[in-house]
């Protein structure tokens, strides 16, 4: 029975690899994938489903690590077709002539819709595929993305004791679970403990900004145990095209913008209420742009449909999805980008908008205060009465257009110094050197 099952999956697995091979340099022979015994090789492990959004993170890692590596292996549980298309375009247009890149998909099927996360299922898949990926774990370093990839951490520890294990914590999952019921409180505690164990198993814990230290599970204990192995400058880069010359402030047609997931944690309902009252507060017509998708999409669609009349006091333009490489065209049309959040690490939207000279308003969460210096490179509001805070601040800003434009320009310079490709590559070179010397 075992041989029959294996033979059934071989053609499908081979088909997936052969489909990806022309665009990502997978070395295929029969149904086996061979790894060159070369130095300066890193393996990046992703659990769950690779969506177009997560594919963008893979591209960032490739941009950052490519100058220092001869070989980059990417191991992912599963992938969507749209993500493959995005990645193939990126490889052709922006990443030719770099190190050898191998993309390994553990679950031999494409997913057109992002499925509900299942930690147990991902653990089973990783364990079942251990013989296939063992060779990929014998490299200079293993980079685990996310803080609940327990299976990948354990497999890396068991399969390759010599490789340095780096855990990249873009954000901690427990932060997104509100303890508003007994069930959610128990879930939050469980995820908190899992992430704590996950961080302790790492040789290095990588976070994107110093202010993320306070969100590390049992931060005092973790800081003491990891000592010098907690690195707080492991941010990802902003693509070069976001740093193109900014549009003049007067030519920005949208007063307010939002780009990101349409979820409760992003205060979407409160944000829509703020937009509804803005014309009355500002005593002027307000133009709004919303880009994003998520569980609250129907709420945003209804709101946008209600306020699509160009003659009304508020005009709302809603776009569910924009290709990543075109986002900068929309950022350059926004004067003030508002992204309040209950839980996040360091959202890409904030950095990209700042690179595009937007004035950003956000909350004191995760790594955001590390990049937004309040009243200098943006604005930080408190997680209290979001609607009232936003109305007061936006009214104050629109009484002084020069201040909005000046802060947008200063924000661009702040991001250019720390988040453009070369400075980030230098930071990661230092991280890789630390890992090799350990």
Cα 46 to Cα 172: distance, rounded to the nearest angstrom? 15
Cα 234 to Cα 119: distance, rounded to the nearest angstrom? 25
What are the 10-residue block averages of pLDDT along the chain, 438 residues in total? 39 39 36 45 86 84 90 87 78 68 77 54 71 79 83 74 83 84 91 88 91 91 83 92 86 95 93 94 94 95 89 91 88 96 92 96 94 96 90 94 94 95 94 80
Domains 23-237+421-437 and 240-419 alike in fold: yes
pLDDT of residue 108: 63
| Cα-Cα-Cα-Cα dihedral sign, residues 360, 410, 422, 172 | negative
Q: Where are the domains of the chain?
A: 23-237+421-437, 240-419
pLDDT of residue 26: 38
pLDDT of residue 21: 39
Contact 166, 69 (CB under 8 A): no
CA-nearest of 140, 132, 108, 100 to 33 is 132
Q: Please report, to the nearest 10 degrees, the dihedral formed by the alpha carbons of residues 26, 30, 33, 39 taken in order.
A: -90
pLDDT of residue 287: 95
pLDDT of residue 103: 84
Contact 237, 421 (CB under 8 A): yes
CATH class, 23-237+421-437 region: alpha beta
Q: What does each C-alpha distance from 83 to 57, 110, 164, 235, 380 come to in angstroms? A: 11, 10, 29, 22, 33
Cα 174 to Cα 95: distance, rounded to the nearest angstrom? 35
Q: 76-135: per-residue pLDDT in tens?
A: 888 888 788 777 777 666 655 678 888 888 876 655 444 455 666 776 777 677 777 778
pLDDT of residue 2: 39
Cα 293 to Cα 299: distance, rounded to the nearest angstrom? 11
Mean pLDDT of all residues belonging to the chain: 83
Total-model pTM: 0.83
240-419 in CATH: which number?
3.40.50.2000
pLDDT of residue 118: 65
The Cα angle at residue 173 between residues 176 and 298, in degrees rounded to 5: 45
Phi first, then psi: what are they for 290, rounded to 5°?
-125, 125
pLDDT of residue 117: 56
């Amino acid at each position: 029975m075992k041989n029959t099952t294996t033979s059934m999956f071989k053609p499908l697995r081979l088909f997936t690899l052969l489909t990806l091979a022309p665009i990502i340099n997978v070395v295929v022979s029969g149904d086996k994938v061979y790894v060159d015994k070369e130095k300066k090789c890193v393996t990046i492990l992703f659990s769950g489903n690779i969506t177009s959004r997560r594919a963008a993170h893979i591209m960032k890692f490739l941009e950052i690590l490519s100058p220092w590596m001869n070989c980059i292996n990417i191991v992912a549980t599963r992938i969507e077709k749209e993500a493959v298309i995005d990645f193939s375009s990126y490889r052709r247009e922006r990443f030719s002539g770099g190190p050898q890149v191998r993309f390994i998909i553990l679950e031999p099927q494409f997913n057109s819709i992002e499925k509900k996360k299942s930690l147990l299922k991902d653990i089973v898949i990783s364990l079942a595929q251990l013989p296939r990926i063992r060779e990929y774990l014998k490299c200079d370093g293993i980079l685990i993305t996310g803080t609940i990839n327990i299976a990948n951490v354990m497999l890396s520890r068991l399969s390759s004791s010599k490789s340095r294990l780096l855990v990249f914590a873009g954000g901690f999952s427990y932060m997104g679970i509100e303890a508003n019921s007994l069930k959610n409180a128990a879930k939050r505690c469980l995820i908190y403990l899992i992430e704590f164990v996950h961080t302790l198993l790492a040789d290095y814990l990588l976070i994107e900004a110093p202010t993320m230290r306070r969100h590390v599970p049992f931060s005092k204990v973790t800081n003491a145990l990891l000592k010098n192995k907690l690195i707080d400058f492991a941010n990802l880069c902003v693509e070069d095209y976001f740093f193109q010359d900014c549009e003049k402030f007067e030519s920005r047609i949208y007063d307010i913008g939002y780009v990101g997931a349409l979820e409760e944690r992003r205060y979407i309902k409160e944000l829509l209420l703020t937009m509804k009252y803005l014309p009355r507060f500002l005593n002027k017509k307000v133009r709004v742009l919303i880009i994003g998708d998520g569980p609250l999409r129907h709420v945003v669609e209804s709101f946008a449909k209600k306020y699509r009349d160009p003659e009304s006091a508020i005009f709302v333009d809603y776009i569910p999805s924009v290709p990543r490489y075109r986002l900068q065209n929309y950022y350059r049309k926004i004067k003030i980008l508002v992204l309040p959040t209950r839980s996040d690490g360091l959202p890409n939207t904030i950095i990209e908008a700042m690179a595009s000279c937007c004035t950003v308003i956000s909350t004191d969460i995760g790594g955001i205060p590390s990049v937004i210096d309040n009243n200098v490179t943006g604005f930080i509001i408190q997680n209290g009465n979001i609607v009232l805070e936003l109305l007061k601040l936006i009214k104050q800003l629109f009484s002084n257009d020069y201040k909005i434009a000046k802060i947008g320009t200063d924000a661009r310079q702040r991001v250019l110094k720390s988040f453009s490709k070369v400075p980030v590559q230098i930071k990661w070179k230092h991280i890789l050197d630390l890992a090799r010397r350990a």
